[in-house]
Amino acid sequence: MSFKKKIFLWVGVIGILGIGYNAYHWFDGVTQGRIAYFYLEYGLPYFYTDRVVLHKDIPRGIWWLTKAAERGNANAQSNLGAYLMHGNGVKKNEKEGIKWLRKSADNACAEGQYNLGTCIYNGEGTLVNKQEAFRLIKDACEKMLKRGKKKGIAKNAYYVLGQFYSRGEGCEVNKKEAIIWFSRAADLGNVDARTALDNPLQIPTPVKYSSELKDKAEEGNSEAQVNLGWCYYDGLGIDKDYSKAAFWFQKAADQNNSWGQLNLAICYKEGKGVPKNLLKAFEYFEKSAKQDNANAQFALAQCYGNAWGTEENESESFKFNQQSAKNGNSCAQNVVGYAYFTGNKVSKDPEKAFEWFEKSAEGGCEKGQCNLSKLYASGVGVQKDDKKAFYWAKKSAEANDSESQYLLGEAFLAGRGTEKNTEQALYWFRKSANQGYSEAFDGIKRAEKSSESGKESSK
């Protein structure tokens, strides 16, 4: 394009923006957001004899961003929140920043969820809540992945989610998910994610088998021994071999490594790599639990509850469930929530039940998500909210919980918390019925009848 044409183009752009600045109400939120982006990223052109130079105009860009945010533009709300949180080109105001980030997140904007999640994790402008931070960032990453997000904050968001899974912050430690999200971040060019993948000892669970990892295990590094054991147990970079897995877990357990003790207990419980021995399983679960390993405490609670390697003892079972719940195990949090809901072992307290179910749900426990959905649907322990009931039922149903699949079918059939959709109702009723959930069979009949009635009325 010639220099003269560029001048005419910029004059036209300036004219449009000038009109818009004085008559912003002519534009919708999307257009206002685009104008804001223009000012913030490019700015106004300044003409010289041989060139055009752009100068950013942050104040005017923030003005347009605010107008777009007020019109409900979720991306603008996220960007405005970020500018306010960091004081970039505008007076720093964390209270206002959090307000706009929450609005953006409530409008299901992935960037807004991620930005809000990082603020909640770091306690910027709000209280620290690692479980809520995990939930928001996980939702954001799933949205970015679904729409094929390859630029911008995706590579950082994927890496942060990998850290949550690797450290067990706001969720249970999950080696597979950590590896998956680190890999996605590394593929987009995140250097820290690549470093984490190259050094499996930065992750509490292994990435893949390597000669370096084996050398460290043989040198006596207990973390490497646990990691190498998991490589053999799950076939990560090497053929599965339960005997070798148990061997390395034993090595780590002998050094009082709580993860080695826990994993060795699982081998004894399942009879993988060693003869099945519930007494031995109980012994190593107990050793690990004494070191405050939340997963081991939950396993020990199950041992007492089911008489695995010890006498049945409901009081001890609940005691270890409470310890595990306080240390962040989402399944134990569901158990404690249910105890408060029913008044079993503790005084009945629906509000405390809600608190524990919410923690469990945000930690990824599908039964906790199901129970939280039911509280929102009934208004017990929390204000009734059909949309939130639908949200958590869907989360749990997608994780293959049969009761939640049934509840989701009911929501679609009645149009409760979502638009009525008989086809979706049938789909989820059938998923639930295929797992043997008895009430789902009646749901199928009602959905089919509703579908037939709809066809007749449309003739």
Query: What CATH number did the domain enclosing 445 receive?
Result: 1.25.40
Which of the listed residues 153, 173, 198 is the one where a domain comes to its end? 198
Closest CA to 85 of 55, 38, 119, 108: 119
Q: How far apart are CA 80 and CA 98, in angstroms?
A: 10
44 φ/ψ angles, rounded to the nearest 5 degrees: -90, 145
Query: For 162-171, 406-415, 423-432, which range has the lowest pLDDT when averaged over its residues?
Result: 162-171
Q: Are 158 and 166 in contact (CB under 8 A)?
A: no
Q: Are residues 105 and 27 in the same domain?
A: no
Q: How far apart are CA 191 and CA 74, in angstroms?
A: 29
Kindly tell me if the per-residue pLDDT of 434 is higher than 70: yes
Kindly tell me if the per-residue pLDDT of 48 is higher than 50: no
Domain assignment present for residue 331? The answer is: yes
Which of the listed residues 274, 290, 306 is the one where a domain comes to its end? 290
Query: For 65-74, 152-161, 193-202, which range has the lowest pLDDT when averaged over its residues?
Result: 193-202
Q: How far apart are CA 88 and CA 74, in angstroms?
A: 19
Domain assignment present for residue 78? The answer is: no
Kindly tell me if the per-residue pLDDT of 37 is higher than 90: no
- Per the structure, how many domains does the chain have? 5
Which of the listed residues 290, 309, 327 is the one where a domain comes to its end? 290
Kindly tell me if the per-residue pLDDT of 113 is higher than 50: yes
Q: Positive or negative CA dihedral for 357, 358, 359, 365?
A: positive
C-alpha torsion angle, residues 149, 151, 154, 156 (rounded to 10): 170
Kindly tell me if the per-residue pLDDT of 29 is higher than 70: no
Q: How far apart are CA 169 and CA 2, in angstroms?
A: 56
Query: For 70-84, 362-376, 392-406, 429-443, which range has the lowest pLDDT when averaged over its residues?
Result: 70-84
Kindly tell me if the per-residue pLDDT of 89 is higher than 80: no
* Residue-level pLDDT at 355: 95
Q: Are residues 296 and 273 in the same domain?
A: no
Where in the sequence is the domain holding 435, given as residue range(s)? 391-459
Kindly tell me if the per-residue pLDDT of 54 is higher than 60: no
Q: Residue 100 sits in a domain of what CATH number?
A: 1.25.40.10
Kindly tell me if the per-residue pLDDT of 42 is higher than 70: no
Q: Are residues 271 and 300 in the same domain?
A: no
Domain assignment present for residue 303? The answer is: yes
* Residue-level pLDDT at 57: 57
Q: Are 81 and 100 in contact (CB under 8 A)?
A: yes
DSSP state of 25: G
Q: Are residues 147 and 164 in the same domain?
A: yes
Per residue in 289-304, pLDDT (tens digit) is 999 898 999 999 999 9
Per residue in 326-359, pLDDT (tens digit) is 988 889 999 999 999 999 989 999 999 999 999 9
Query: For 91-95, 207-211, 371-375, 383-387, which range has the lowest pLDDT when averaged over its residues?
Result: 207-211
Q: Are residues 284 and 303 in the same domain?
A: no
* Residue-level pLDDT at 46: 47
Kindly tell me if the per-residue pLDDT of 60 is higher than 60: yes
* Residue-level pLDDT at 61: 65
Mean predicted confidence (pLDDT) in 169-186: 82
Q: Are 99 and 82 in contact (CB under 8 A)?
A: no
* Residue-level pLDDT at 93: 86
Q: Are residues 355 and 418 in the same domain?
A: no
Kindly tell me if the per-residue pLDDT of 323 is higher than 90: yes
Domain assignment present for residue 371? The answer is: no
Percent of the chain with pLDDT over 90: 46
Mean pLDDT estimate for the chain: 82
Per residue in 187-220, pLDDT (tens digit) is 787 766 766 665 443 344 445 778 888 999 999 9
Domain assignment present for residue 344? The answer is: yes
Domain assignment present for residue 83? The answer is: no
Extract the tokens encoding 200: 């499996």
Residue 389 burial (10 A CB sphere; 0-12, 13-18, 19+): buried
* Residue-level pLDDT at 200: 43
